[in-house]
Chains A and B, each alone.
Chain A
Amino acid sequence: MIRRLSALVIAASVALVPAFAFAADAISGQTQQQPTNWTAIGMFSAFVALSLYITRWAAKRTHSTADFYVAGGGVTGFQNGLAIAGDYMSAASFLGISAQIFNDGYDGLIYSIGFLVGWPIIMFLMAEKLRNLGRYTFADVASFRFAQPPVRVFSAFSTLLVVAFYLIAQMVGAGGLIKLLFGLPFSYAVVIVGVLMILYVLFGGMRATTWVQIIKAGMLLSGATFMAIMVMSKVGWSPEELFNRAVQVKTDIALAHGSSPEEAAKKGLSIMGPGNFIKDPISAISFGMALMFGTAGLPHILMRFFTVPDAKTARKSVLWATGWIGYFYLLTFIIGFGAIVLVATNPQFLDAAGAVKGGNNMPAIHLANAVGGNVFLGFISAVAFATILAVVSGLTLSGASAVSHDLYATVFRRKEADTNHELNVSRGTTLVLGVVAVALGILFEKQNVAFMVSLAFALAASGNFPVLILSLLWKGCTTRGAVIGGFLGLITALVLMILSNDIWVLILHHAKAIFPYKSPALFSMTVAFVGIWFFSITDRSERARIDRAGFDDQRVRSETGIGATQASDH
């Protein structure tokens, strides 16, 4: 059944290509479009079809739900590290960070570093314990010694919220890509991505994401390496020359926009240091906290710790992931500066007003064209798009399983929920998430995708992370404390985000932001930690006694893995 459906998906997606191109021709009359790029489209279709084929192949090898989880059993540290890196090097990292560097220079590096520094924290305080305690989802760990229903309700809400914001970023990135490549209007592009994503999740599914991620992480890393090498070769292998030219380009652009020579020179130089992206100290610290601690609260990343056989392998996967991601970020920096030099100066990539064709997030894609021609453009677009699809399906599934496994099966129906019902709930959630992601994706078109992801990180840092870390490390933590504190942190983060400039003013068109800072994490994380602490120490209930009494056993298992190996065998 699944095999036939996934074959259908492949056939449909290949058949759609001429339709896209036709639409491109039809629309090019109204908007100014570059001619349809057949070479790039051919490469693109070939790689997307290939990734769907891999999905089908992997789906064939795993049949039952148990297979899906133990598929992890066979995953090595190296493979899992690459898969984590694949999940992590999403549209935000590749398109968003390089675009941020393209626009503001050094500011983009602040993202890269922030996204990376969460990994050692996960390693030192959490990774092995997660593996030893975890069964299938991170809620299993968070609720290990607590009353199940309240903690699972919390983690399901928290997961859905994080997933929604993360999804928006991926939709905006993918929509921009399709818009650029096929010349479709952004809203059509986002709808197409949404439909493909739902098909991919429903028929190909999560079973394959590990393999798809491993292969694509490899392709993305080699593609990015090639781009960085080509950029360096064009500036005579001299970083100094690269920076020199980039500053010159930015100075010239400022001059052309009517700045005085002094202003223009200052503007040009501004790309070499931290600039306007973060204006005040509180924003800097708050933003830094969101990025660092958000990683440790992302549901689709935490899930990856349950796909390896033991704590030792979990550890190795974190090291591999950190290595690959760090290397990738060094490349992104070169790619971003390369785009300033090679894309911002080439009229082929700019519209009449001097803005980048295809929107804010596309400089890396144009750079692929500049250094490798149409074939490489097709390759990079396809890899970027396929990565987005895989990340999106992983996200959607972690959202869907939060609803079906944590909410529906554990909370509403308790244990007697049957698999068929659970699966239907999961499918329904996928559809709803798809529609929500499309609607929000259209709304957030103009946003930098790395920034959108930072909002998802802020939510994860304020909800999942405090609950998880305190349940692991603090004996006094109780069900009541974790649930109330977690919800308080999550709601604080959400409300402050909505009241901040990027949503209140840019999306909702109010005159002035009520919350003046770039990220809510400093405040919402404090609320979460204080909330959990306060509502735990004042908790005198019978449940609280059980919660605290369970800590020592939880600790033995989390530290030694005794009892854990059996848990993943069945």
Chain B
Amino acid sequence: MAKTEAPAGGTRFSAIAENPKYKELIAKRTRFGWLLTAVMLIAYYGYVGLIAFDKSFLARPIGTGRMSLGIPVGFGLIVLTIILTAVYVVRANKEFDRLTEEIVKEAGQ
């Protein structure tokens, strides 16, 4: 689709950089990426913070049994990691790929 002999960089790339769709893609994806990164960082360092400052909180049994609070919290964090990754893939497949395709098409003309 894109011409192979086109030089890397130069006018072709600056034309893409001016494309409003390119700007939209960058703005949306960057914001979404950092938003999810922030969620992950807060969740993980919240957990690390508990280990650092209040170990007994995680060791506290749930109800009357042996199961401690730390176990569902830890398992939950593992599951959250997988879910966040999936959320990104779903939006990227739907929205970002469509935008990218349009940008590539317009650049090829």
Residues of chain A having any CB pair with chain B under 8 Å: 106, 109-110, 112-113, 116-117, 119-121, 123-125, 128, 239-240, 243-244, 247, 269-270, 272-275, 278, 280-282, 284-285, 288, 292, 312, 315-316, 318-319, 322-323, 326, 329-330, 333, 550, 552-553, 555-557, 559-563, 565-566
Contact = CB atoms under 8 A, between A and B. Distances in A.
Interface string B60-93: 1100011110110011011101101110110011
Interface in B19-49: 22, 25-26, 29, 32-34, 36-37, 40, 44-45, 47-49
A164 to B, nearest CB: 27
22 contacts: A106-B68, A120-B84, A124-B32, A124-B33, A128-B92, A272-B59, A272-B61, A282-B52, A284-B48, A292-B44, A316-B89, A318-B85, A326-B81, A326-B82, A552-B13, A553-B8, A553-B13, A559-B25, A559-B26, A560-B25, A562-B107, A563-B2
B91 to A, nearest CB: 11
A143 to B, nearest CB: 15
A562 B16 contact: yes
A106 B58 contact: yes
Nearest to B53: A281
A536 to B, nearest CB: 21
Given A312-B93, A326-B82, A559 B29 contact: yes
A405 B109 CA distance: 37
Given A117-B77, A312-B97, A555-B26, 16 more contacts: A106-B74, A110-B51, A120-B37, A123-B85, A124-B88, A269-B59, A272-B68, A272-B71, A281-B52, A288-B44, A315-B92, A319-B85, A319-B86, A319-B89, A553-B8, A556-B13
Interface of B: 2, 4, 8-9, 13-14, 16-17, 22, 25-26, 29, 32-34, 36-37, 40, 44-45, 47-49, 51-53, 55-56, 58-61, 65-68, 70-71, 74-75, 77-79, 81-82, 84-86, 88-89, 92-93, 97, 100, 103-104, 107
Query: Which of A273, A326, A561 has the most chain B CB within a 10 Å cutoff?
Result: A273
Contact of B78 (A280, A312, A330): A330
A559 B34 CA distance: 15
Contacts of B49: 284-285
Contacts of A553: 8-9, 13
Contacts of B33: 124-125
A113 B82 contact: no
B44 A117 contact: yes
Nearest to B26: A559
Contacts of A128: 92
Q: Which 4 A-B pairs have the closest CB atoms?
A: A273-B59, A281-B52, A284-B52, A243-B66
B66 A247 contact: yes
Contact of B48 (A124, A270, A288): A288
Question: Looking at A109, A278, A333, A562, which has the most chain B CB atoms within 10 Å of its CB?
Answer: A562
Contact of A557 (B13, B65, B71, B93): B13
Contact of A330 (B58, B65, B75, B92): B75
A316 B86 CA distance: 9
Contacts of A330: 75, 78
A272 B97 CA distance: 45
A556 B16 contact: yes
B78 A113 contact: yes
Contacts of A559: 22, 25-26, 29, 100
A240 B65 contact: yes
Contact of A561 (B14, B70, B100): B100
Contact of A273 (B14, B58, B107): B58
Given A112-B78, A562-B2, A106 B70 contact: yes
Contacts of A288: 44-45, 48
Contact of A274 (B36, B55, B65): B55
Contacts of A565: 2
B3 to A, nearest CB: 10
- Most B CB contacts (10 A, CB to CB) among A123, A247, A329, A556 go to A556
A524 B70 CA distance: 29
B34 A326 contact: no
B34 A560 contact: no
A274 B16 contact: no
Given A124-B33, A330-B75, A330-B78, A563 B66 contact: no
Contact of B67 (A119, A243, A278): A243
